[in-house]
Amino acid sequence: MSDYLGFAMFPALMLLLLTGFPIAFSMITVALVAGFFQFGDSVIFQLLSKVDDVATHSVLAAVPLFIFIGAMLERSGIAERLFAVVHIWTRRVPGGLALSAILLGTIFAASSGVVGATETVIGMLAVPVMLKHAYDKSLISGTICASGSLGTVIPPSITVVVLGPVAGVSVGDLFAGLLFPGLIMAVLFMLYVVGIALFRPQVAPREEEEGPDLSLGKKLRMTIIALAPTMALIFTVLGTILLGLATPTEAAACGAAGTIILALIYRKLSWGILWSSMQRTASITAMILLIVLGGNMFAGVFFASGGMTGVQSLLADLGLSGSGAVAVILILAFIAGFLLDLISVVLILIPLAMPIVTSFGVDPIWFSVAFLVVLQTSYLTPPMAPSIFYLRAIAPPDITLKHMYRGVLPFIVMQLVTLLLVILYPDLVLWLPDQMSGPSW
């Protein structure tokens, strides 16, 4: 009976979500009701212990710090300066504006790891300019959605910071494992843009020169002024984690201080910008941590109700091997990514999936990276793609949903190619973590 109760928690959760009930409160409600039927009043103490677990988890302290980094980069105008400098070098390349957007997405993702903020900033900067130069609306849509989604697979990523403790895997190792797949995906995006601009120049017309041509020395000087501080910020956050010099929380704290210093250097720091960044950070952090709490409560009741035993028995009855079980879980993650935000999918599926994949001898770091690539693919895939909803909020009316749906399809293919490479060549994920000898956080 308890096994069946665990299984019933998932359709009950989906039913609540379909009614529009918030994801965090849906998970808490299902956990409370199922726990009451299974354990009676004692479920209250079990759920309260989860509050303490989340509140005292040191790695989760990095979440508001990473969000603050993204908010400060957005509000202080640093991203706008970066876009202008990157475009100096790409303007003569086919599809130069789209390339600039993808490069900015890569830099922004490596600075903060906040997906929604990345896409919003890139969209506000690049869409008007690309429309001015008569870029195809589908290419504009696909480029903005794809470049914004890189925050999931290029470290540091908020999703990874949440996934690591839930999966029982070092966040530093996950960052290292994600680095090559994330960069490969960004390169594939850029290759596609250059290719389509070469073979179909009408979708990405060459830009007419505006203003005087800059000398190489002036370009280098402008690039160093704009890019060097941001690269220092990326090293402070990501480099110190990969080299084992700092924990994710320590690195994020240094990065948050670094964004304030950057804004001060660029004379963009004001009390208004600082206050609005802090407000945005508090709002997003509260939402994320409440979802984390709900996920922990949901998973705790599911495990205690014997749900894991039921799932393992089901897989054994189906005769699935390790690869078969991994494939089923990744498909479930892809489907769930249509309906839920990325962190919710992590908190619902990872506690269920990790004991299964490790029992088959699958490397947890490799599986976590493959899981994240699949999640990013669902983030971009119509009809429920969250990336399209972000773009819809900032795009002008003449860019329609049809343009967006059509535009993301080639980039989804690039994501699937990255997933295939991760599956065929596991060392793309595992080599760098093996070379890193930092502490396990």
Report d(CA 81, CA 60) in Å as an integer.
Answer: 31
Residue 377: closest CA among 344, 405, 412: 412
CB 145, CB 105: distance < 8 Å = no
Report d(CA 93, CA 71) in Å as an integer.
Answer: 31
Q: Cβ contacts of residue 40 below 8 Å, gap of 6+?
A: none
Supply the pLDDT for residue 369.
Answer: 94
Supply the pLDDT for residue 441.
Answer: 46
Give ∠ CA 21-24-29 in degrees, rounded to 5. 70
**How buried is 274 (Cβ within 10 angstroms: 0-12 exposed, 13-18 middle, 19+ buried)?**
middle
Report d(CA 307, CA 296) in Å as an integer.
Answer: 15
User: In this predicted model, what pLDDT tens digit does every residue of 130-181 receive, in sequence order?
Assistant: 888 889 999 999 999 898 888 788 887 778 888 888 888 888 889 889 999 9
Supply the pLDDT for residue 1.
Answer: 46
pTM of the prediction?
0.77
Residue 62: closest CA among 238, 263, 229, 230: 238
Q: How far is CA 248 from CA 51, 63, 64, 351, in A?
A: 22, 9, 12, 22
C-alpha 224: how far from its chain's center? 28
Q: How far is CA 174 from CA 154, 163, 168, in A?
A: 10, 9, 11
User: In this predicted model, what pLDDT tens digit does every residue of 352-365 receive, in sequence order?
Assistant: 888 888 888 889 99
Residue 127 CB: number of other CB atoms within 10 A?
Answer: 23
Q: What residues of the chain score a pLDDT lower than 70?
A: 1-7, 57-59, 112-118, 207-215, 306-321, 338-341, 383-384, 437-441
Supply the pLDDT for residue 320.
Answer: 66
Q: Give long-range contacts, CB 8 A cutoff, 24+ apart: 260-264.
A: 260/72, 262/72, 262/76, 262/78, 262/229, 262/230, 262/233, 263/72, 263/76, 263/78
Q: Give the length of the chain.
A: 441
Supply the pLDDT for residue 95.
Answer: 84
State residue 76 phi and psi, 5-degree precision: -90, -5
Report d(CA 149, CA 120) in Å as an integer.
Answer: 11
CB 64, CB 281: distance < 8 Å = yes
